[in-house]
Amino acid sequence: MPRYSALIKNEKLSDSLRENEPLAQYTSWRIGGAGEFYTNPSSELEIRRIITFSQAYQIPLTILGGGSNVLLSDRGLKGIVMHLNHRFAGYEFLPDGRVKAKAGTRLGTLIRKAMALNLAGIEQLWGIPGTVGGAVVMNAGACNTETFDVLESVTSMTPEGEIVVRHKHEIHHGYRYSDYKYNGEIVLDATLQLTPTAQEIIRANFDKADERRKPQHNIRQPNSGSIFRNPQGNFAGRLIESLGAKGRTYGNAQVSLDHANFIVNLGGATASDTCQLIASLQADIWEEHHVQLEPEVIFLGEF
How far apart CA 211 and CA 233 sit, in angstroms, is 22
CB-hemisphere CA count at 13 Å for 68?
21
CA distances from 29 to 68, 163, 284 (A): 7, 32, 24
Instruction: Give residue 167's pLDDT.
Output: 98
Fold (topology level) of 5-86: 3.30.43
CATH tag, 89-212: 3.30.465.10
H helices present in 30-172, as ranges: 44-56, 107-116, 132-138
Write down the catalytic residue from 36, 123, 146, 296.
296
226 is catalytic: yes
Instruction: Give residue 1's pLDDT.
Output: 45
Q: Residues 242-259: pLDDT tens digits?
A: 999 999 999 999 999 999
Write down the catalytic residue from 176, 178, 185, 224.
176
CB-hemisphere CA count at 13 Å for 146?
14
Q: Residues 273-300: pLDDT tens digits?
A: 999 999 999 999 999 999 999 999 999 9
Instruction: Give residue 217's pLDDT.
Output: 67
Domain ranges of the chain: 5-86, 89-212, 216-300
Instruction: Give residue 2's pLDDT.
Output: 64
256 is catalytic: no
Q: Write down the pTM of the prediction.
A: 0.91
Residue 262 near residue 216, CB atoms below 8 Å: yes
How far apart CA 257 and CA 260 sit, in angstroms, is 7
How far apart CA 298 and CA 265 sit, in angstroms, is 17
CATH tag, 216-300: 3.90.78.10
Write down the catalytic residue from 14, 42, 54, 226.
226
pLDDT < 50 positions in the chain = 1
Q: What are phi and psi of 97, to 5 degrees?
A: 85, 5
280 is catalytic: no
